Structure 1
Amino acid sequence: MKLGFLTACLPESDLTDIARWAANQGYEALEVAGWPAPDDRNHIKVDCFDEAENARVRRIFTETGLTLSSIAYYENNLHPEQGPQVNAHVMRCVDAAAALGCPTVGTFIGRDPGLPVRDNLKRAEDVFGPLVEYATARGVELVIENCVMKSWHPDGYPGNLAYSPELWEWMFTLGLKLNYDPSHLVALGIDPVAALRPYISNVAHVQAKDTQILPGAIDRHGFYGPISGEKGWYRFRVPGLGQVDWTRVIDTLYEGGYDGVVSVEHEDPVWSGSTERVRTGLGIAYRTLRHLVQG
């Protein structure tokens, strides 16, 4: 395995600077943000990917010796209005990944909040069938993060229909793979290791994020969280500052034969607010995981 991180946490930084810093810190891989402009999470310019951009990105990874593990574009592929534009950009990400020799593109299933789950699953089959076919023809796998995305639903229900093992089994039948993130399972009351063990052969990428349970908060809001603007009963942290047992998670991945990248996804509100604070958070994550993730 190799240890990396998702570049979306450093939107103000150039990919060259991110890669050099990552390599100097001992990181071995990057999961690179590929959102379309004007979104500043576009460290690979997927929406205007040409020979010059291809050469620029290849040069960065050649000079630093890092691995490009995935192009990241996590948006709602089932959005009732914007879905077709999201689908089209996923295909552009696939084209860029194929040109760069990158094995995966990461995205969400998403959801139309105006439809029940069963209708959404039928829509997803119609949407992702062509997307998987397009990616497979170019030697790229589509990986889906198991994030709940409650903010995509007006009542805070799951907005990304890939949050549980039941739904993983469904999406595997479409040819999709899992970008496994244990932090979201903690927030659903699911044991991350018990959920992972049967599905390791379908894991094509791993994101490392932690979840900190806030004492007493669930007694006020309940499992579904607040209906007001109050904070919920958990928050995401960098690995080592939450409830995830990283020794068990990484050991289970090794035992199951996973040999890909473990990519830190930094969404820690404590270690945010500036480039230096984000880098400090990435340093905490590195020190937590380095002795566990061995090449």
Structure 2
Amino acid sequence: MKLGFLTACLPELDLVDVARWAVEQGYEALEVAGWPSTDTRNHIRVDRFDGAECERVGRIFAETGLTLSSIAYYENNLHPRAGAEVNAHVRRCVDAAAALGCPTVGTFVGRDPGLSVRDNLERADGVFRPLVAYARDHGVDLVIENCLMKSWHPDGYPGNLAYSPELWEWMFTLGLRLNYDPSHLVALGIDPVAAAMPYVSQIAHVQAKDVELLPGTINRFGYYGPISGEKGWYRFRVPGLGQIQWGEVIGALRRGGYDGVVSVEHEDPEWTGSTERVQSGLGIAYRTLRHLVRG
């Protein structure tokens, strides 16, 4: 395995500066943010990907020796209005990944909040089979993170239909693979190790994010969380500052045969506010995970 991180947490820095810092810290891989150029979460110009951009990004990885583990574009592929443009950008990410020798593109299934879950799954079949075929024709896997994305639903229900093992099994029938993030399982009362073990062969990428449970708050809100704008009953942390037992998680992945990248996804509110604080948070994550990942 190799240890990396998702670059979206450092939007102020150019990719070359992110890569050089990553090497100095000891990281071995980067999951590169590939949102459209109008978005600050953008370290590769996927929507303007030409020979010069391919050479720029390829040179950064060649000179630093880092692995490009994935191009990240996590948006709602089933959005009732913007879904077609999201699908088109996923294809652009696939084109860039293929040109750079990157094995995966990460995105969300998403959801149309005006439809039932069953109707969404039927619609997703028509959306994702062509996307998966396009990706496979280019030698790339589409990987789906198991994030709830409750903010995409007006009542706070899951807005990304990939949040449970039941839905993972449905995804796999379409040829989608899993970008496994254990933190979101804890937020559903699911044991992240027990949930992952039967599906390790379908995990093509791993995101490492921790979660801290806030004492007493679940008794007020329950698993679905608040509707009032108050803080919920948990918050995300960098690995090492939450309750996830990373030795157990990494050990289960290793026993199942996973040998890819473990990519830190930094969404810790305690370690944001400046580039330096974000980098400090990434440093905590590195020190927590390095000996486990390198085993």
What is the deviation of 1:156?
0.2
TM-score, reference length from structure 2: 0.99
Q: How does 1:220-239 map to 2 (within 5 A)?
A: 220-239=220-239
CA–CA distance in structure 1, aligned partners of residues 42 and 96 of structure 2: 13
Q: How does 1:63-82 map to 2 (within 5 A)?
A: 63-82=63-82
Aligned to 1:293, what secondary structure does the other structure show? helix
Q: Would you say 1:184 and 2:181 are equivalent positions?
A: no
CA–CA distance in structure 1, aligned partners of residues 40 and 130 of structure 2: 28
| Matched positions, count | 295
What is the deviation of 1:91?
0.1
Q: How does 1:128-277 map to 2 (within 5 A)?
A: 128-277=128-277
- Partner letter of residue 102 of structure 2? C
| 1:97 match | 97
Aligned to 1:75, what secondary structure does the other structure show? strand
Aligned to 2:207, what secondary structure does the other structure show? strand
Q: Which moved more, 1:158-167 or 1:212-221?
A: 212-221
Q: How does 1:275-294 map to 2 (within 5 A)?
A: 275-294=275-294
| 1:114 match | 114
What is the deviation of 1:229?
1.2
CA–CA distance in structure 1, aligned partners of residues 120 and 241 of structure 2: 35
Per-residue CA distance 1:155-188 (angstroms, 9 max, x = gap): 0000000000000000000000000000000000
CA–CA distance in structure 2, aligned partners of residues 29 and 58 of structure 1: 13
Q: What 5-or-longer segments of structure 2 have no aligned partner? A: none
What is the deviation of 1:220?
1.4
What is the deviation of 1:255?
0.4
CA–CA distance in structure 1, aligned partners of residues 244 and 161 of structure 2: 22
- Partner letter of residue 78 of structure 1? L
CA–CA distance in structure 2, aligned partners of residues 222 and 184 of structure 1: 15
What is the deviation of 1:45?
0.3
CA–CA distance in structure 1, aligned partners of residues 136 and 261 of structure 2: 20
Aligned to 2:54, what secondary structure does the other structure show? helix
Q: What 5-or-longer segments of structure 1 have no aligned partner? A: none
Q: How does 1:21-100 map to 2 (within 5 A)?
A: 21-100=21-100
Aligned to 1:212, what secondary structure does the other structure show? strand
What is the deviation of 1:221?
1.4
Per-residue CA distance 1:193-248 (angstroms, 9 max, x = gap): 00000000000000000010000111111221111111000000000111111000
CA–CA distance in structure 2, aligned partners of residues 187 and 167 of structure 1: 16
| 2:3 match | 3
Per-residue CA distance 1:64-119 (angstroms, 9 max, x = gap): 10000000000000000000000000000000000000000000000000000000
Moved beyond 6 Å, runs of 4+: none
CA–CA distance in structure 1, aligned partners of residues 116 and 254 of structure 2: 38
Aligned to 1:171, what secondary structure does the other structure show? helix
CA–CA distance in structure 1, aligned partners of residues 38 and 213 of structure 2: 34
Aligned to 1:224, what secondary structure does the other structure show? coil
CA–CA distance in structure 2, aligned partners of residues 261 and 223 of structure 1: 30
TM-score, reference length from structure 1: 0.99
- Partner letter of residue 197 of structure 1? M
Per-residue CA distance 1:118-137 (angstroms, 9 max, x = gap): 00000000000100000000
Aligned to 1:118, what secondary structure does the other structure show? helix
| 1:13 match | 13
CA–CA distance in structure 1, aligned partners of residues 201 and 223 of structure 2: 31
Matched-pair identity in % = 80
CA–CA distance in structure 1, aligned partners of residues 248 and 190 of structure 2: 14
What is the deviation of 1:37?
1.7
Per-residue CA distance 1:4-31 (angstroms, 9 max, x = gap): 0000000111000000000010000000
RMSD: 0.6
